[in-house]
């Protein structure tokens, strides 16, 4: 059979349209579409190729390269890593604008394919416009910035290299353990070069997500530990959702009587009112979950990388006799904190535990202790989310209003500042996928673009974005994209006039208020920012409200609006929920002229002694 003569860019796009994945027994295209901001490094090559197949593989124009990558990543997260998107930019600033998003995807183990333009492989016009030159290494380009934040990186300097590079990219993005961003730096002259491609390269291929079972000995150890446990605790991470194991976890937890605490990534694995759900864990955790974590003698993490917010900087799991097990599809994460490992797919491992633990149940006293703690926590959460009087509302009170305005299938989206902590504690998730908070990288600017990606993944669900004024100012351009694409979002902007979360942290470590709130930053005139007018200028329906009652009325109106709606409310920068929470290791200066810093250092040194750093 004669080969197909295509450019490297045309072959790449055609190949992408032939990649499918099996989702719940149905085969669907793996790549949902391409985000593209064209420049001289990709418009002639990839731009021409994408236009030729626009009816098969949609291409969307964004307004900011980092933001379009956030949208792609949020889409993959909401799709539980079963589908992904592609992002292409020109050489230079367009490419490096995506590096932050690549780091976010890497930290959160989320798939996205980056196709930034690159320098000329031939070097005929070297140096080209926007080329970053390394004085000692002629092979370096700006795209080398992607290397440490890509799970797989390649530079395409010949068309035929794609025969190996593209399948490798798919293998990484669809592998549960190795999943993450892939960067194929695509030399701009190579994009336009023709090659005789074997037709077999474009045959339809269906990828299936691998589900690995546990090693029998590792499973034996976990079963024995649980059967001997008096105070067992499960910590559910994002891997529960990616494995589709939430149903099995809900049944197993109830059958065995083992309480469950949820990380940011795992929130929503159980309904908030499931009888064994203790709520959020860690620095932003509920008092019920953190109390159980401090007493537990066997802790079983499922699909979590146990970052410092989850473990209270390694001080939360305080019982001296406690044993830690990690069920994780990735050995890299399973071995953390000296855990006993059970490497395998969460659903497969839980299925095996279900059979092996038949007849065993956690002690009645431990279950009752958890129930009582949840009742107390729910009362505390109700109190802080209730409508206030005349004073500026807190973040928690705004969360309460948004929660009351949403249905059980709504999705809340957030990323950085104080809001993720309050949401982790207080948002009541009724359905899996209803809580979408990016907190692995805690990236300011993710929220609005992320909301767009979530809406594209779940068009049938209402998407509520909650964002602070600082994050809004960093990256808001995809409001215009959401309007342009007809993807309706409801965005609540909480204006506390600065970086309120870090201002509280600054003072909590003994420092003086400095450079966080606008009032404490260098200024000749304090800016009076009209967020509603700005959002309206981007095409959204927008209004500013005064107080919770007006917010609730505006949210009711937003339900009937046909396009993205932005609601702005002033909030108090100094109030955060005192209930719950755990210690977080934020180093305090050893030497300072401020007495408050010296006092904070003394408290810090005492807390450090409780860390279990040898594990």
How confident is the model over 1-25, as pLDDT tens digits? 899 999 999 999 999 999 999 977 8
Which one, of 193, 316, 540, 267, lies nearest residue 429 by Cα?
A: 267
From its phi and psi, is residue 417 left (phi > 0), alpha (psi between -120 and 50) or beta?
left
Compute the 3-state secondary structure of the chain and give helix, strand, coil in percent, each to the nearest 5.
Answer: 40, 20, 40
Q: Domain ranges for the chain, please list them.
A: 4-207, 216-376, 386-570
Cβ–Cβ < 8 Å for 255, 94: no
Distance separating alpha carbons of residues 507 and 609, to the nearest angstrom: 22
CATH topology of domain 386-570: Rossmann fold (3.40.50)
CA distances from 254 to 222, 390, 451 (A): 18, 43, 33
Mention every residue, 6+ apart, whose C-beta is less than 8 A from residue 237.
263, 265, 266, 301, 302, 303, 304, 305, 310
Rounded average pLDDT over 128-157: 96
Confidence of residue 208 (pLDDT cuts 50, 70, 90): very high
pLDDT surpasses 90 at 306: yes
Match 């009742």 to its residue by tokens. Answer: 375
Look at residue 1 in the predicted model and tell me its pLDDT. Answer: 80
> What's the token pair of residue 289?
């979950």
The 3-state DSSP class for residue 126 equals coil
From its phi and psi, is residue 343 left (phi > 0), alpha (psi between -120 and 50) or beta?
beta
Domains 4-207 and 216-376 share a fold: yes
CA distances from 339 to 262, 298, 320, 335, 397 (A): 18, 11, 15, 5, 39
Strand 340-343 versus strand 298-302 pairing type: unpaired
Look at residue 23 in the predicted model and tell me its pLDDT. Answer: 79
Which one, of 118, 120, 115, lies nearest residue 150 by Cα?
A: 115
CATH topology of domain 216-376: Rossmann fold (3.40.50)
Omega before 127 cis (within 30°)?
Answer: yes
CA distances from 533 to 419, 445, 536 (A): 23, 19, 5
Distance separating alpha carbons of residues 251 and 256, to the nearest angstrom: 8
Mention every residue, 6+ apart, whose C-beta is less than 8 A from residue 290.
281, 282, 312, 316, 580, 581, 582
Distance separating alpha carbons of residues 76 and 98, to the nearest angstrom: 16
Backbone phi, then psi, for 35, in 5-degree steps?
Answer: -90, 130
Query: DSSP E strands: which ranges in 434-533?
Result: 435-437, 463-468, 490-495
Which one, of 163, 162, 182, 160, lies nearest residue 171 by Cα?
A: 182
Percent of the chain past pLDDT 90, that is, above it, reads 96
Rounded average pLDDT over 473-494: 98
Cβ–Cβ < 8 Å for 276, 253: yes
Q: Please state which CATH class domain 4-207 belongs to.
A: alpha beta
Q: How far is CA 600 from the centre of its chain?
A: 32
What's the pTM value of the predicted model, to 2 decimals?
0.97
Rounded average pLDDT over 222-251: 98
The 3-state DSSP class for residue 266 equals coil
Confidence of residue 75 (pLDDT cuts 50, 70, 90): very high
Distance separating alpha carbons of residues 329 and 211, to the nearest angstrom: 8
pLDDT surpasses 80 at 614: no
Rounded average pLDDT over 50-76: 97
Strand 26-29 versus strand 19-23 pairing type: antiparallel
DSSP code, position 137: B
The 3-state DSSP class for residue 183 equals strand
Look at residue 399 in the predicted model and tell me its pLDDT. Answer: 97
> Among positive and negative, which fits the CA dihedral 51, 54, 56, 57?
positive
Distance separating alpha carbons of residues 49 and 188, to the nearest angstrom: 13
Look at residue 390 in the predicted model and tell me its pLDDT. Answer: 66
The 3-state DSSP class for residue 603 equals helix
Distance separating alpha carbons of residues 542 and 565, to the nearest angstrom: 6
Confidence of residue 66 (pLDDT cuts 50, 70, 90): very high
Rounded average pLDDT over 478-483: 98
From its phi and psi, is residue 443 left (phi > 0), alpha (psi between -120 and 50) or beta?
beta
The predicted-structure confidence for 519-562, as pLDDT tens digits, reads as follows: 999 988 998 999 999 999 999 999 999 999 999 999 999 999 99
Mention every residue, 6+ apart, whose C-beta is less than 8 A from residue 412.
402, 406, 423, 427, 434, 435, 436, 437, 464, 465, 466
The predicted-structure confidence for 379-422, as pLDDT tens digits, reads as follows: 999 999 998 876 899 999 999 999 999 999 999 999 999 999 99
Rounded average pLDDT over 418-444: 96
């Amino acid at each position: 059979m004669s080969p197909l003569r295509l450019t490297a860019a045309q072959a790449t796009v055609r190949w992408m349209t032939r990649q499918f994945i099996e989702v719940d027994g149905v085969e669907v295209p793996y790549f949902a579409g391409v985000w593209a901001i064209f420049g001289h490094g990709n418009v002639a090559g990839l731009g021409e190729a994408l236009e030729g197949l626009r009816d098969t593989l949609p291409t969307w124009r964004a307004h900011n390269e980092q933001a379009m990558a956030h949208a792609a990543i949020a889409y993959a997260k909401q799709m539980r890593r079963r589908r992904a998107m592609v992002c292409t930019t020109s050489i230079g600033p367009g490419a490096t604008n995506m590096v932050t998003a690549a780091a976010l995807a890497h930290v959160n183990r989320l798939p996205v394919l980056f196709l930034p333009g690159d320098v000329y492989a031939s070097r005929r016009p070297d140096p080209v416009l926007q080329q970053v030159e390394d004085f000692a290494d002629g092979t370096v380009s700006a795209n080398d910035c992607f290397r440490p934040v890509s799970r797989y990186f390649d530079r395409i300097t010949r068309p035929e290299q794609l025969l190996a590079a593209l399948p490798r990219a798919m293998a990484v993005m669809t592998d549960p353990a190795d999943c993450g961003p892939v960067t194929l730096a695509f030399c701009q002259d190579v994009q336009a070069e023709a090659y005789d491609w074997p037709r077999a390269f474009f045959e339809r291929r269906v990828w299936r997500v691998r589900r690995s079972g546990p090693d029998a000995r590792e499973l034996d150890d976990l079963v024995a530990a649980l059967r001997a446990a008096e105070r067992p605790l499960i910590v559910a991470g994002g891997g529960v959702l990616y494995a589709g194991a939430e149903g099995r976890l809900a049944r197993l937890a109830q059958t065995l009587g083992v309480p469950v605490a949820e990380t940011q990534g795992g929130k929503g694995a159980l309904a908030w009112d499931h009888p064994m759900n203790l709520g959020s864990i860690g620095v932003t955790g509920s008092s019920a979950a953190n109390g159980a974590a401090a007493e537990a003698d066997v802790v079983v993490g499922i699909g979590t990388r146990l970052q410092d917010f989850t473990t209270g900087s390694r001080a939360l799991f305080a019982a001296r006799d406690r044993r830690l097990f990690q069920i994780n599809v990735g050995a890299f994460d399973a071995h953390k904190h000296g855990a006993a490992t059970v490497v395998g797919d969460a659903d497969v491992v839980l299925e095996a535990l279900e059979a092996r633990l038949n007849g065993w149940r956690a002690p009645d006293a431990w279950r009752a202790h958890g129930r009582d703690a949840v009742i107390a926590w729910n009362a505390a959460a109700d109190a802080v989310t209730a409508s206030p009087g005349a004073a500026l509302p807190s973040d928690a009170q705004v969360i309460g209003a948004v929660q009351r305005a949403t249905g059980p299938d709504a999705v809340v989206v957030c990323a950085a500042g104080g809001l993720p902590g309050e949401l982790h504690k207080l948002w009541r998730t009724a359905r899996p996928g209803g809580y979408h908070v990016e907190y692995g990288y805690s990236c300011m600017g993710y929220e609005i673009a992320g909301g767009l990606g979530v809406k594209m993944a779940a068009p049938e669900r209402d998407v509520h974005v909650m964002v602070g004024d600082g994050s809004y100012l960093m990256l808001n351009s995809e409001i215009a994209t959401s309007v342009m694409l007809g993807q309706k979002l409801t965005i609540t902007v909480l204006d506390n006039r600065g970086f309120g979360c870090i201002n509280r942290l600054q003072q909590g470590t003994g420092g003086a208020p400095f450079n966080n709130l606008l009032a404490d930053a260098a200024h000749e005139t304090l800016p009076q920012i009209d967020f509603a007018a700005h959002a309206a200028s981007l095409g959204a329906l927008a209004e500013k409200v005064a107080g919770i009652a007006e917010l609730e009325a505006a949210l009711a109106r937003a339900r009937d609006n046909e396009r993205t709606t932005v609601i702005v409310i002033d909030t108090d920068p100094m109030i955060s929920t005192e209930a719950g929470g755990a210690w977080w290791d934020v180093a305090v200066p050893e030497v300072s002229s401020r007495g408050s810093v010296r006092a904070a250092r003394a408290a810090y040194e005492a807390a450090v002694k409780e860390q279990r750093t040898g594990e």
